[in-house]
Structure formats: structure tokens, C-alpha cells
Amino acid sequence: MNRRVACTAIAAVVLLAGCGGNPPPPEYGASPTLPEPQRGLLPSMVIADPGEWGDRRPVVPDGYRIDAIATGLLIPRQTLVLPNGDILVAEGRGGNAPKLKPKDVVAGPIKSAGTTSVESGNRLTLLRDADGDGTYELQTVFAENLDAPYGLALVDGSLYVANQGALVRFDYTEGQTRASAEPVEVTKLPSEINHHWTKAMTASPDGRFLYVGIGSNSNITERGMTAEVDRAMVWRIDPQTGMHSPYATGLRNPTALAIQPGTDQLWAVVNERDELGPNLVPDYLTSVREGGFYGWPYSYWGGNVDPRVMPQDPEKVAAAIVPDYALGSHVAALGLDFSTPAMGAAFAEGAFVGEHGSWNRSEPVGYKVVFVPFRNGRPAGDPVDFVTGFRVDGKTYGRPVGVTVDPRGALIVADDLSNTIWRVTPSR
């Protein structure tokens, strides 16, 4: 039996064992209506059946165009636009968590069937459009032999890379196409077990600190609280010394971080817990307060207690901050960046979010890039589809991860299924 047939057979069994039925559409915004939890032996699962783009391409709004500016990459995750317009791409796949439950054994091959089959790049690739015509004629390896790099930041001539197990630094001179030396370790990052391995990162506006997101080591503490030490939080790191401290906690898996323009405010997208039904719990976009606690594992969306977590902690639940904006349950938000007026009047104020897509829902959600409009510095209104067409009629052609706004007027989208970097621009 081949892998695809085997996974399809497994999926059929899982669907029968799961919640079943057609789940209602997800809700968005600051005040979503949360359904009652649904518990089953296993969640419903739908395989992301990969297809080749061929002559197809993702769909963007009227007045915009999308182009593939790099192909043949090795699992592109996050990107960074450098001051001269070059783009760095972090490539790789991490994680080494052992399976805990029957669900993990069943879900593993289903989820992997919907991902790329290429080997982890463990590298940074540099893209260059020397003449500014939108064609990136140079695609070259900037640094290699890394360890599942993900978060990227450039501060005062230093390029910081958040590998799955350590924050490292390269010296950077504008225009260089290859790292001039091996990276220097700034500090270790939690990586034992590494159920959630991605290490999102952004820098404070003044460059004094780096913020690094560190996901939990479980869904809801199945490995015990000892395994969650220094996990499910955002660290604030002094890049000069490597000293670090928790900045905010109770964030199950903060997969992308960004600073809101014109402020010092840190924002994050967070992937919430599973196995409470197709419409619980909403993944979310939120401002991140220093010292704030956001509920995991004891509660979700503020004070909604998760009865699976023992022992409970009522004081923690009472202190839990309600996130700013629900993106919908299981969309798997992995990318975040704020827009600029150069992206056009309709998308001038707000945040772009890359949604990698669900695996544990009978009706898939995500598989697109959305724009969350802001007004007076806060999210306002439903998300707007900005890049779609990644999943059509049961075939999945791509899965968006990182999104980065080029201040000159482009959105850079990393697609880790087709191993492509897409560039979306307003038509001139």
C-alpha cells in the first residue's frame, strides 16, 4: 500500500472516530461566539493533497499581481527584507518530539502527507533584484549548516537568526551575498523535546532587545509541567549579553512576531490548542503586554477553563488576558507583518497574516493570506482575503508561512509546500 492510499485509509477511520458533521464557519474578531467543547476519540482530519502549480498561480485582489520570485527552495519559512532590497529566506524543518498518544501516531502520516518531501535546507538563501524590475535574478546561499532557522532580524549591522536551539549572530555588511564567517551564539533557546520547534523573532524599535517566541511542548501539558519550563511564552533577549527574561507567558505557540509601526507595541499570532472541536480554540492575533498572561494551559480566550488540565489554577485563569482578535480555529497562522501605505489605499492600515491551513477539521480552513484591517491602531472588521487559491477542489498547491512587507510596496510570501517565494505588488 503506497503512502497516499495508506494515509487516505487512515483519514477515513479518523473521520468516523472524530466529531463528524459539518462544522459551522469560523468566527472572527474581538468577540467571537465560542461553541461548547466537543470531545472525541480523535479529531476529524483532512489531508492536504499536494498538487503542482503548473500554469496556475495564487489569486490576489483586482489591481494586484503575484509573481514567483524564487523556486526550488528547501522549505522556506520566514523572510527578511534587507535595507538594499535583498531578501533573506530562512529554510528548514525542526522538531524532535516523541509520540505520546494514538492520536499522534495516526495524525503524523496524515499531516506529513500534506507537506513537502524535500529535505530540510537548514540555511539562509539570499535573493537579489539588482535593477528593480521585479525579477530576482540572483538566488544564492547566504549561510548554511544551520539548525532549522526561522526568526530573522537585522540590528545595527548584526544579522540575528533564531535556530530551533539557539539564537546566533552574523556580522552583516550591506550588499554582501555570503556570510563572512561562522555565526556566533548569543544564547541557547529551549529545544529539548521541541513539540513546537519554531522560534519566531523580531527586534524592538530601538534595537535594544530581541523578542523570541517559544511554543509549548504539548497540546495541553500531556508531558507534564516540567517539560513546559521556559515554554509557551515570549522571551526578551539582550543581544549584547544574551541575558533573557520572560516578556509574556501563557501563549501556546507564538509563531510570528511584529512591531506595530509608529509604536513600540509588540504583536503576535498564536496557534491555540486542539481536540476541543472544529471551532475551538481560535488562533489569534494579539498585542503582547509586558508581564501579561494569556491563558495557556489553564484557560482559553480569557477565562474559558480547559477542564483537561490538572491541577487547575483559578488565580491564573482570573488573570488571563483576552486576545485582541480571533482569526478562526485551526487556521494555523504562521506569518505576521504590518502594512504600509505603499500597499495601496485598501490595504494601507492593518496586518497581513499567513495561514498555513488546518489538518484537524472536516472542512479545511486557512490556506491563504488574510489582511486584518486596523482603525485607530486596533483591529477593526472581518479579515479580508488577500492571497488565495492555495487549496482548490481538494488539491493543495501551496501553504503560506511567513509574510513580509517590503516598504517599497510588495508583500513577500513564503510557501513551504511548493518551496516558492511569492511577491504581491499593486499594479502600477
In a domain? residue 315: yes
In a domain? residue 29: no
Closest alpha carbon to 370 in 59, 56, 53 = 59
CA distance 294 to 249: 6
User: Exposure pattern of 79-92 as b/e (b: 16+ CB <10 Å)?
Assistant: bbbbeebbbbbbbb
**Residues paired with residue 283 on neighbouring β-strands, in sequence order:** 328
Give, in degrees to the nearest 5, the angle at Cα 276 between 198 and 102: 70
> Going residue by residue through the chain (428 aa), what tens digit of pLDDT does each one get?
344 433 443 343 343 334 445 666 678 999 999 999 987 656 677 777 899 999 999 999 999 999 999 999 999 999 999 999 999 999 999 987 666 665 565 556 656 666 777 888 999 999 999 999 999 999 999 999 999 999 999 999 999 999 999 999 999 999 999 999 999 999 999 999 999 999 999 999 999 999 999 999 999 999 999 999 999 999 999 999 999 999 999 999 999 999 999 998 999 999 999 999 999 999 999 999 999 999 999 999 999 999 999 999 999 999 999 999 999 999 999 999 999 999 999 999 999 999 999 988 888 999 999 999 999 999 999 999 999 999 999 999 999 999 999 999 999 999 999 999 999 999 86
In a domain? residue 31: no
Closest alpha carbon to 301 in 50, 31, 62, 113 = 31
Distances (CA, A) of 376 to 269, 350, 380: 20, 10, 9
Nine-digit cell string for 323: 486576545
Closest alpha carbon to 367 in 386, 380, 346, 348 = 386
Radius of gyration of the chain, Cα coordinates, nearest whole angstrom: 20
In a domain? residue 30: no
**Residue for grid cell 477539521:** 361
The domain total for the chain is 1
Alpha carbons within 13 A on the beta-carbon side of 324: 19
CA distance 87 to 69: 10
CA distance 319 to 173: 45
Instruction: Provide the CATH number for the domain around residue 167.
Output: 2.120.10.30
In a domain? residue 186: yes
Question: Does a cis peptide bond (omega within 30 degrees of 0) precede residue 297?
Answer: yes
In a domain? residue 93: yes
Nine-digit cell string for 307: 477542564
Q: Which amino acid is at 235?
A: W
Instruction: Name 193's Cβ contacts closer than 8 Å, sequence gap at least 6.
Output: 96, 97, 98, 217, 223, 227
Query: How many Cβ atoms from other residues are within 10 Å of residue 22's Cβ?
Result: 8
pLDDT value of residue 7: 43
Instruction: Give the 3-state secondary structure of the chain.
Output: CCHHHHHHHHHHHHHHHCCCCCCCCCCCECCCCCCCCCCCCCCCCCCCEECCCCCCCCECCCCEEEEEEECCCCCEEEEEECCCCCEEEEECCCCCCCCCCHHHHHHHHHHHHCCCCCCCCCEEEEEECCCCCCCCCEEEEEECCCCCCCEEEEECCEEEEECCCEEEEEECCCCCCCCCCCCEEEEECCCCCCCCCCCCEEECCCCCCEEEEECCCCCCCCCCHHHHCCCCEEEEECCCCCCEEEEEECCCCEEEEEECCCCCCEEEEECCCCCCCCCCCEEEEEECCCCCECCCCCEECCCEECCCCCCCCHHHHHHCCCCCEEEEECCCEEEEEECCHHHCHHHCCEEEEEECCCCCCCCCCCCEEEEEEEECCEECCCCEEEEECCEECCEECCCEEEEEEECCCEEEEEECCCCEEEEEEECC
Nine-digit cell string for 179: 556570510
pLDDT value of residue 17: 37
Q: What is the dihedral of CA 76, 357, 410, 346, to 10 degrees?
A: -170
Residue numbers of the domain that contains 17:
3-21+36-426
In a domain? residue 249: yes
**Residues paired with residue 211 on neighbouring β-strands, in sequence order:** 202, 236
pLDDT value of residue 46: 78
Query: How many Cβ atoms from other residues are within 10 Å of residue 248's Cβ?
Result: 25
In a domain? residue 340: yes
